[in-house]
Amino acid sequence: MNVRTRPPATSPRSRRCIAAFAAVGALMSVAACGSSDSGSGDAGGGTYTFWDPYPQFAAGSAWEKTVKDCGSKAGVKVKRTAMDTTDVANKALLAAQQSNTPDVLVVDNPVVSTLVEAGILTKAKEAGLDTAAHDKNLLGAGTVDGDAYGVPIGANTLALYYNADVLKAAGVDPASVKDWATLTQALAKVKKAGKKGITFSGIKTEEGSFQFLPWFWGAGADLRDLGSAEAVSALSLWKGWLDKGYAPNSVINNTQTTSWQEFASGDYAFAENGTWQLANAKKAGFKYGVVTIPAKDGGQAAAPTGGEFVTVPVQKDSGRYATSKKIVDCLTDSKNLLATDTTLSYVASTTAVQEQQAKQDPALKPWVSAVRAAKGRTSDGLGTKYPVISEQLWTAVQAALSGAQSPGDALAAAQKAAAAKTDK
């Protein structure tokens, strides 16, 4: 049994971990503060600890069976602890302060850079993980200063669901939606036909930023310059839709769930939402389809990636990494990746498995396309600056949509505030 002592409160790791709590809280919709009881148990001997953010998969589930089977193949017993997404990040920070991190940690991809800055995660190459097969754009969400920290287990992202009946009644061919102009023209036709245009989430949380980013990036804007003309054009698009009645005022407070509920009513032509709504779409009661989000002048906009990374936290005994590697390799091999990503409604992180998914379920083809064009929120070297920038972005979106400020003034203020907090 390994006996781990708690480092002094003034240790560099403790200070980094304490600072990281703020970043995690800003990034997540709901922050939680865990207890010192991490539930990691005995990580010595033949037991390896494994934490994941999938509490929906209880004991006996296919996911838990896969995790434990991977442990058996590695010659050890795996003790799995499942908790909510925010709890995973916060408890990992607490466990690091106590030198009691799990052996394998599955964590939301934008939190990877925060945990790296706190000194918690091992570089993929140091843990022996092979990242070559995984799509580079998806790896980018877990890459800091050129080094990957773990591998993606899958990804979800955003696209536009459409109600085929509403579009047909309005005389709109979904294939005609190729850029912002043609999308806005489609919304005008839908409104003229007596139906509702588009719904999305513009809430004052990370969900709001997440949904705005495809339009922000689709305009050619950069998160390091929130006040650019490109950024203003994206926010002006959303504001224009509200002003013309193409989108409801409820988007200001909509979460992605409430936005979906509006679309499920059958009155809306389009809804911006993610792969996680596929099961609901199939039982919505009307014919639906999916198109990727268009960039301003045509082509496909980059949407932000959701999904998790399988990581190997830092251990005092580096000899444990060899077994952790075996567990991670097993979880992310083609067979298990296909099964897991199907269960999670994720698109796989490797081209080979993506092709298998699209063959099994043709409805996933537009989602595979969207994921291949997607981008990590912490990419472009933003790392832990992203939560600060995102908060200012969603604040600007709220100010503009509510009419409190013009899109230009709101974004100029956001850039000033973000720069004051990140240029230090």
Question: Within 13 Å of residue 222, how many CA atoms lie on the same side as its CB?
Answer: 6
What is the pLDDT, as a whole number, of residue 24?
53
What token pair was written down for 268? 């809306």
Please indicate, yes or no, whether residues 276 and 337 belong to a single structural domain of this protein: no
Q: Write out the H or E segment, with its range, that includes residue 322.
A: helix 321-331
220 part of a folded domain: yes
pLDDT at residue 201 greater than cutoff 50: yes
Q: Which of 10-14, 227-231, 351-355 has the lowest mean pLDDT?
A: 10-14
What token pair was written down for 109? 């991809």
Please indicate, yes or no, whether residues 60 and 151 belong to a single structural domain of this protein: yes
Please indicate, yes or no, whether residues 24 and 144 belong to a single structural domain of this protein: yes
What token pair was written down for 82? 């499942």
DSSP string, 155-219: BB-EEEEEEHHHHHHHT--GGG--SHHHHHHHHHHHHHTTSEEEE----SSHHHHHHHHHHHHHT
DSSP 178: -
What is the pLDDT, as a whole number, of residue 37?
33
SS3 at position 196: strand
Please indicate, yes or no, whether residues 61 and 45 belong to a single structural domain of this protein: yes
More confident residue, 22 or 398: 398
What token pair was written down for 328? 């991670």
**In the chain, pLDDT over 70 holds for what percent of residues?**
89
Please indicate, yes or no, whether residues 199 and 287 belong to a single structural domain of this protein: yes
321 part of a folded domain: yes
Please indicate, yes or no, whether residues 233 and 265 belong to a single structural domain of this protein: yes
What is the C-alpha separation between 172 and 270, in angstroms, rounded?
Answer: 12
Written as one letter, the residue type at 414 is A
Alpha helix ranges (H) inside 28-172: 62-73, 85-97, 112-117, 124-127, 136-139, 164-170
Please indicate, yes or no, whether residues 331 and 208 belong to a single structural domain of this protein: no
Give the number of other Cβ atoms within 10 Å of residue 423's Cβ.
7
For residues 191-214, give the mean pLDDT.
Answer: 97
Report the chain's C-alpha Rg in angstroms. 22
pLDDT at residue 283 greater than cutoff 50: yes
**Tens-digit pLDDT profile for residues 125-159:** 999 999 999 999 999 999 999 999 999 999 999 99
Q: Write out the H or E segment, with its range, that includes residue 197.
A: strand 196-199
Provide the number of structural domains found in the chain.
2
44 pLDDT band (50/70/90 cuts)?
Answer: very low
Q: Do residues 154 and 347 touch, judged by C-beta distance below 8 A?
A: yes
**Tens-digit pLDDT profile for residues 360-395:** 999 999 999 999 999 999 998 899 999 999 999 999
Please indicate, yes or no, whether residues 297 and 357 belong to a single structural domain of this protein: no
| Final residue before a domain boundary, out of 335, 355, 373 | 373
3 part of a folded domain: no
Q: Which residues 6+ apart lie within 8 Å of 17 measured at CB? A: 93, 94, 96, 97, 118, 119, 120
Task: Give, in degrees to the nearest 5, the angle at Cα 178 between 110 and 206.
Answer: 20
User: What are the respective helix, strand and coil percentages of the chain, to the nearest 5?
Assistant: 50, 15, 35
Q: Do residues 107 and 90 touch, judged by C-beta distance below 8 A?
A: no
**Tens-digit pLDDT profile for residues 70-120:** 999 999 999 999 998 889 989 999 999 988 999 999 999 999 999 999 999
> With left for phi above 0 and alpha for psi between -120 and 50, is residue 291 left, alpha or beta?
beta
pLDDT at residue 61 greater than cutoff 50: yes
130 part of a folded domain: yes
Please indicate, yes or no, whether residues 222 and 311 belong to a single structural domain of this protein: no
DSSP string, 24-59: HHHHSSS-----S-------STTEEEEEES-TTS-T
| Final residue before a domain boundary, out of 334, 352, 373 | 373
What is the C-alpha separation between 354 and 338, in angstroms, rounded?
Answer: 8
pTM recorded for the entire structure: 0.86
N- to C-terminal Cα distance for the chain? 43
- Name the residue range of residue 337's domain: 12-155+307-373
Please indicate, yes or no, whether residues 292 and 388 belong to a single structural domain of this protein: yes
What CATH number corresponds to the domain at position 392?
Answer: 3.40.190.10
Please indicate, yes or no, whether residues 194 and 317 belong to a single structural domain of this protein: no
Please indicate, yes or no, whether residues 127 and 201 belong to a single structural domain of this protein: no
DSSP string, 227-240: TSHHHHHHHHHHHH
